[in-house]
Structures are given as structure tokens and as C-alpha cells.
Structure 1
Amino acid sequence: MEMDGITTPFGRRTMTLGMLASQAIAKKIAPEASVDKWKLYRSLCEARPKLGISDRSLSVLNALMSFYPKTDLNGSDGLVVFPSNAQLSLRTHGMAETTLRRHLAALVEAGLLSRRDSPNGKRYVRRDRHGMIGEAFGFSLAPLLARAREIETLAAEVTAERLLLQRLRERVTLVRRDITKLIGTALEDGLAGDWTQYEAEYRRQVDALPRVATTEILEPILDALETLRTEILKYLEQQIILQNTAGNAGHIERHKQNSQSESISDSEHRFERKREENLGVEPLLSHQTSMKEPTRTGEREASREGMQPTSQRAPLPGDSARLQPPKPFPLGLVLQACPEIVPFGPGGSISSWRDLMTAAVVVRSMLAVSPSAYEEACQALGPENAATVIACILERSGHIISAGGYLRDLTRKAERREFSLGPMLMALLRTGGVPAKQAG
């Protein structure tokens, strides 16, 4: 087929410099040039973002390539295909003719096709007496063959960028998981440090992540998160070393007092005694009462040491600083009174105090309670009781205007020993329709 010369479009379509450049490039194809058309099409699909064409345009190009009889596009053959719009519509699953024309024009503008229009604008072929194609009018696939190496290079770049973006996303996910778990462990174990500042910095970096992130956006955020993780790890290591070197009997005793098993059993026994003493009266759990009425065991221990019990002697100047937070109530009682917090636990359930404290951190952010307010509550009430207060606030969130202000007010009362968590839990049990006798 004769391919010399430049062809201009039929009818009202104007000639553009892009069309002229595509035809000039196609004329420089070496006769021995050859490429598998379907491998080239897969590369086109990969390089589509860089070529600026849509997936619908690619489906039209796929239909045009299917009309070329050979598997390889060869520079020595005529690369013109001449299907009618009706045939193209069938191979594009019934695409409308106006849509076909629009996508064909987009492929020509992108330099992937060139038009070879006949004098009357129809697509047809002239054959010689031996049945060989002498001249064809339609769409030339020669620009595809001429740009095959460029298309493959663009496809490789897109693939590399996609893999890099995938790795960056994975690294961001791992670093985010590390930071959240490290901060949660530090808060749960009561390690000293400005963990709220670390949490605020982490939240600031995470909030900067868009829904559809690019490599340019992810790289600086990943660097900042990795730096934050390194700082947290160093600080945790220092805290662990300090605790190991400064460990003594006092530290071990405090650890026993805050353990989960003793907190639960002790609270349960005190609740049973209180309920037996108030038969016929509405039961209330109050740590204030238990603090004001020391047990006989405590009195005997104080007498053996030659001292009066704490409640019977004048408070010393440093007593207020040494007051321990009240022991937590049984976890089952808390979950019975505050079932709304259960779905916020890990995996949608809560089976331990650690799960409850993790859920409380999530609910705190949801209720717009500042990290400083929650940290102060943990110091005054203890981490378990602070998490219980958050669960109670969640239950009554529809009646509380400012959850953060309400928590700060309860914290101040707790510091003055004017706040007891028991009545709050029992009130929630009553409003939830649970009989008081089942609370123990």
C-alpha cells in the first residue's frame, strides 16, 4: 500500500500540527520494525494516565486493533484498518456512534492514531487482481508502532510509581500502628512524659493525609512519623531503664495495688458488704465511704506500728500528694452500666481494662475532649476510673453540652475528694432498666 505524502481530514475537520507530527513520525518507521499489538495494548493501559486518554478511548482502540489481521504490527505492512461505525459499535459492546466519534477524535489528538480519509470520507479498501490491498482509507495504526518504545517506557514509569506508592502506604500504616500502640502502652502503664504532645503531633500528621495520596504527599509525612516514632521509642527506653534502676519495694507494692485482679475482687467485696448493710435501701457504691471507714485490718496494722489509722490522725502536710486514686469498680459492672462504649473496643468488644482504656481514647476524641483534660482525669482518678468516666459521659452525651468541661469539673471534685463514681454508675444502671440487685 502506498503511504507517501500527507493526508488531510475530510469535511469540516481541520488539520492540526499534532496530526501532521503523527504522520511525519509514522513515515520514519523502519520496514523491519515489529511489535506484538496486544503486549503494546497492555503497555498502553498502564501508561494511560501519562498519555491523557480515558478507558473508553482505550476500548475503542482495542476494537480498532482487533480489525488488524496479524498479531504483530509490522512496518512493512499496511497498517490501515477500515471498519465501519456499525462494526466498531458491535466490538465496543454497542457504543453509540456519537460516542465513537468523540473517542476516535481523542485518540487522534493523543497521537495514537492518524486518519487516512478517502475523497468522500468513507472507509474502504482497493485490492488488485491478486486480492492484495492496493490502497486503504480509514485509521492508520502506524503511530502506535512508531511510539512503541516510548509507550513501553511510560508504562514502566507508571508501574514503578505505583509500586513505590504502595510501599509508602504500607510503611505509613506500620508506623501509625507502632505510634498508637506505643502511646497507648505508655498511658496504660502510667509512664511519665508529655504523651499528649506526642499524640497531638501524631494527629496533626495523620490529619494531613488526603484520601487519595500521592508519592509527593506521603514521603514528607512518612519522614515526620518515623521521626516521631524514634523519639517515642527513645523516651520509652529511658523510662524503662529508670524504672529498672530505681525499682524498690514501694514500686512493687504500688504495682500490686493497681493490678486488675485485686482491684476487681476488692471492689466486689466492698460492694457486697455495702449492699448487705443497706438492705431495703437504694444501694450506692462510694469510694468516699470506704475511705472514711477504714477496715479493722488497717486499724490493727496501724496499732502494731504505733500509729493511729490514717482516718483518725491529723493529716500530715504531704498526705495530699500521697493520696492514691480510688480503686476501679468491677469491669463487668462498668460494661453493664455503660454498654455504648463496647463497640469502640478492639474488634468491637471489650474483655479487659486495657480494651476499655483503648476504647476510651477513641471516644475521648469523638467527644472532643482535649488530651490534657483526659490526662488530668487519669492522674486524679487513675486510668481505669478515668476510662469509666468517659464511658459514663458517652452514655449521657445527649444531655451534656461540653464533655471536656464536664470532665474537668469532675476531675477538680475528685482532687478535693468530693466526687464518687459509684452513684453515677448506679444511676446509669437504673436508667438502663437493670435491677439494682443485679449490679453486684
Structure 2
Amino acid sequence: MEGGSVATPFGRRAMTLGMLANQVMAREIEDGKTVDKWKLFRALCEARPLIGVTDRALAVMNALLSFYPKDELSEAHGLVVFPSNAQLSLRSHGMTEQTIRRHLAVLVEAGLIIRKDSPNGKRYVRRNGAGAIDEAFGFSLAPLLARADEVESLAAQVTAERLHLQRLRERLTLCRRDVAKLIETAAEEGARGDWEMISMHFRALVMAIPRTPTPDVLTTALEEMEMLREEIVNLLEMHIDSRKISGNPFQNQRHIQNSNTDSISESEPAIETKQGEKSEIDRQTLPVTKGQKDADLGKRSVNAAGAANESHRSPPGLGIKAFPLALVLQACPQIADYGAGGAISTWRDLMAAAVVVRSMLGVSPDAYQQACEILGAENAATVIACILERAGHINSAGGYLRDLTRRAERGEFAIGPMLMALARANGNSVRKAG
């Protein structure tokens, strides 16, 4: 800083520790450091929200920089400008002197300029015999030059945040459009699902977005909207698959019939094997008539047709996609207490914890196995976690699981809205506790 000494303000303005700190910082400018003043000013305008200056104060700063004779700020050319208030008013688009003084104080307090007052408070310059500036009294731009790197870094941060917010808005707009059109398509095609409830949930998500949202609010809204879109796509894919199976005349899906009234349930494979062995012994030891041969041939053809029909069936539980594990744990945090070591990090951990919780809630193994076959192992474990969260409001967990399984088999149950409701409830409780 010019003079290398502390500059105290003129008149009744008090000296503060902030002024002293700015002057100390201004002395630490690297030797030979130069910065384009207008490029630095644009960065200062970009970083304005983080620095804490107003747009009117920046207009005064622009006027001060216009009085600096060079385009490059450097100590070699001096860093003090000394315009009068009248000249500052002209270059500040007619701003009054009282307003100029107020915004000059803002720039000083923000640590962007330093007052270098003369003995009588006037702004002027003293030149030597060669016409060069010997000493100048006015406003020093040394703090601005010293903080050039900081200002540019803050400007880059503000720019990145603005671009991030813009991308979040774009993604949310596209997702809103997708959900609206998919709901309309599902209603027109008559797809299975509670589309009235889904539509109401969609409108509630849209109405919850404020007019000027923060990035955190937009991120939460986007996650919920994407989950809703994924759930709708799942329901529509199931509808498409059902139309392909039921509408193809070359498949036997519509006429599955088993005329073997003596067949054994699939849940008892050991009994079926024993009976098969016995019938084979009977055929070997007893005489076989022609009518018995025809009956055996008829049973074999029926069993072969049934096996062929079973080979065309899709594996159970593959029609519904599983949601991200992180979302399930966010919506159902209580399930983590039943994981190995009190934590859940993989789907295998969640399914193991679900078996423990299933037994604790009194859900029969048969009901849980049926849920795994219809929903899939991951989704069945997710439903158990959701039931655990609402255990205090459910009279019979087993009956509730069976009902959800039957509704899912008919295409009338979706896991997404239940998960999102629990995620919002747990999120609100966390915020209130914080």
C-alpha cells in the first residue's frame, strides 16, 4: 500500500479493526501482480451475492475504475484514484452525492477500497518536478487487487451454482412433462392402476414447489418426480406385457387347463415323487388293459401340454422393478436395526432383515413366499420394511401383506406412492427434530 503506513479516516469517522485488516491485506500484494480491471469488475459483479455489496455500490465501483488511467491494475502505476464527488456523480449516471457517500462506505466496509484521506479531507494529487505523481489522496484500489484471486473464485462458484440450478429446473420441467403425458396415456389406454390417486399425488408435488426454489428443494422435488415417473412406466410396461400375452392367438395363455384331477400340489414335491414311484411299480407288476393304456396316454399328453404352458409363463416378480436401496432405507429407517451389525448396505442385508422382521410381525412364511413370487424378493423385502414403519397402525401384518400381494397381482398396487409418503414423513420429522 502507498506510503506503507496506516491511513486513518478524516473528520468524525471512526477507525475500525476491519479498516486496519483491509490495509494490512493490501500490503501483501505480490510483486509484479497485474489484473485487467474490467475483467475483475465483471467477476466482482458475478460474485456480488457472496461478497455482500449492492448493485448501486457496484455502479460507484465502476465509476472509480473509470478514473484509473490504465486497463491493468498494478502497484507500478499507483492504485489511488481521486475524483471529486461531482465527477463521480456524472459517471454514476447522476447519482446524488449523499447516495454516493453511502455506497462508498459500503465498498470500504466490504474491503474493496481504502480511504486515503488528506489532512483537510480533500482528494487531490501532488506531483514532482517531472510531472509524475508523488502522493495522491482519495480511494486506494489496493484491496481489490489483493483480493483478485478470491473474487474470481467466488465468481466461479456463483456461476457453477447458477448453472446447477438451471439444469435442475430443466430436468424437473422435462420430468413434469413426462409424468403428465404418461398419466394421460394410461387413462386413455385403460391401464390398470389407481390413476386418480397418482394424478392427485402428481398435482401435490407440483403445487409444493415454491416460486423461487433453492437447489435443495429442486433436488428433492426432482427425486420424487422421477420416482413417480418410474412407477408409472412400470405400470405401463406391465400393461403392454399383458396385452402381448393375452392378444396373441398363437399362445396358449388364455386356455390353460389341467384335466389331471389327481395332481399333487407344488408345495409337496416329496409326496409327488413317492406317488410317481408307486404308479411305476403298479405298471410293472399288474396286467395293463387297452383302456388303461389309452388313459395313460391321455394323462401324459395333458401333463405335457401343462408343462409346455408353464414354460411360456414369465418368472414371477420380474414385472415390477425394485427402487434404489438408498431410497428404501431413507423411507424405512427402522429396518436397519434388524440388519447384521445394526446396518444394511446391500439388498442381501435388507432381505435377511426382512425375514427377521417378518417373523417378528407374525407374517406367515407362506404369505411372505407368495409376496416374493408376485412382487420379487427385493420388492417383498421393501414392503415388509414399509409395514414395519406403519406397524402401529396395522392390525394384521400378514393379512395386510396378502391383500397388497393380491392387488399387485391384479396390477392395482404400486410401491412408489407408499415409499414416497414414508420418505416425506421421515424427512419432515428429521427437519423438525433438527
TM-score range, shorter chain: 0.5 to 0.7
1:158 aligns with 2:154: no
Offset from partner CA, 1:395-438 (integer Å, 9 cap, x none): xxxxxxxxxxxxxxxxxxxxxxxxxxxxxxxxxxxxxxxxxxxx
List 4+ stretches of structure 1 deviating above 4 A: none
Which residue does the alignment assign to 2:132?
132
CA distance in structure 2 between the partners assigned to 1:15 and 1:206 by the alignment? 53
Which residue does the alignment assign to 1:50?
50
Q: For residue 180 of structure 2, what is the amino acid of its counterpart?
A: T
Which residue does the alignment assign to 1:112?
112
CA distance in structure 1 between the partners assigned to 2:199 and 2:120 by the alignment? 72
Q: For residue 129 of structure 2, what is the amino acid of its counterpart?
A: R
| Aligned partners of 1:116 and 1:139 also within 8 Å | yes
How many Å apart are 1:28 and its aligned residue? 1.1
How many Å apart are 1:216 and its aligned residue? 1.4
How many Å apart are 1:2 and its aligned residue? 4.2
How many Å apart are 1:189 and its aligned residue? 2.1
The 3 A distance-change label for structure 1 pair 2 and 246 is closer
Which residue does the alignment assign to 2:24?
24
Q: For residue 216 of structure 1, what is the amino acid of its counterpart?
A: D
Which residue does the alignment assign to 1:101?
101
| Aligned partners of 1:48 and 1:54 also within 8 Å | yes
How many Å apart are 1:78 and its aligned residue? 1.6
SS of equivalent residue, structure 1 residue 103 = helix
Matches within 5 A, 1:83-94: 83-94=83-94
Q: For residue 212 of structure 2, what is the amino acid of its counterpart?
A: V
| Aligned partners of 1:31 and 1:74 also within 8 Å | no
| Aligned partners of 2:19 and 2:109 also within 8 Å | yes
How many Å apart are 1:247 and its aligned residue? 2.6
Q: For residue 71 of structure 2, what is the amino acid of its counterpart?
A: T
How many Å apart are 1:75 and its aligned residue? 2.4
Which residue does the alignment assign to 1:74?
74
1:10 aligns with 2:5: no
How many Å apart are 1:201 and its aligned residue? 1.9
Q: For residue 125 of structure 2, what is the amino acid of its counterpart?
A: V
Which residue does the alignment assign to 2:148?
148
SS of equivalent residue, structure 2 residue 6 = coil
The 3 A distance-change label for structure 1 pair 110 and 127 is same
CA distance in structure 1 between the partners assigned to 2:188 and 2:3 by the alignment? 78
Which residue does the alignment assign to 2:217?
217
CA distance in structure 1 between the partners assigned to 2:142 and 2:38 by the alignment? 15
Which residue does the alignment assign to 1:61?
61
| Aligned partners of 2:209 and 2:218 also within 8 Å | yes
| Aligned partners of 1:82 and 1:136 also within 8 Å | yes
How many Å apart are 1:30 and its aligned residue? 2.2
| Aligned partners of 1:30 and 1:75 also within 8 Å | no
Which residue does the alignment assign to 2:311?
none
Which residue does the alignment assign to 1:335?
none
CA distance in structure 1 between the partners assigned to 2:172 and 2:222 by the alignment? 6
CA distance in structure 1 between the partners assigned to 2:96 and 2:68 by the alignment? 22
How many Å apart are 1:205 and its aligned residue? 1.6
SS of equivalent residue, structure 1 residue 228 = helix
How many Å apart are 1:246 and its aligned residue? 1.7
CA distance in structure 1 between the partners assigned to 2:154 and 2:70 by the alignment? 25
CA distance in structure 2 between the partners assigned to 1:2 and 1:132 by the alignment? 15
1:39 aligns with 2:36: no
Which residue does the alignment assign to 1:235?
235
| Aligned partners of 2:192 and 2:235 also within 8 Å | no
Matches within 5 A, 1:9-408: 9-247=9-247
CA distance in structure 2 between the partners assigned to 1:75 and 1:125 by the alignment? 16
How many Å apart are 1:49 and its aligned residue? 0.8
CA distance in structure 1 between the partners assigned to 2:12 and 2:223 by the alignment? 56
The 3 A distance-change label for structure 1 pair 248 and 77 is closer
Q: For residue 104 of structure 1, what is the amino acid of its counterpart?
A: L
Give identity over the alignment, percent. 62
Q: For residue 197 of structure 1, what is the amino acid of its counterpart?
A: M
How many Å apart are 1:248 and its aligned residue? 7.7
The 3 A distance-change label for structure 1 pair 212 and 132 is same
Aligned length: 249
Matches within 5 A, 1:420-431: none
Offset from partner CA, 1:41-64 (integer Å, 9 cap, x none): 010011011111111111110000
CA distance in structure 1 between the partners assigned to 2:106 and 2:198 by the alignment? 51
5+ residue gaps, structure 2, are 250-434
| Aligned partners of 1:36 and 1:73 also within 8 Å | yes
Offset from partner CA, 1:231-257 (integer Å, 9 cap, x none): 1101110011112222389xxxxxxxx
SS of equivalent residue, structure 2 residue 73 = strand
Q: For residue 181 of structure 2, what is the amino acid of its counterpart?
A: K
How many Å apart are 1:79 and its aligned residue? 0.3
CA distance in structure 2 between the partners assigned to 1:127 and 1:117 by the alignment? 17
Coordinate RMSD, CA, aligned: 1.4
CA distance in structure 2 between the partners assigned to 1:10 and 1:204 by the alignment? 60
SS of equivalent residue, structure 2 residue 25 = helix
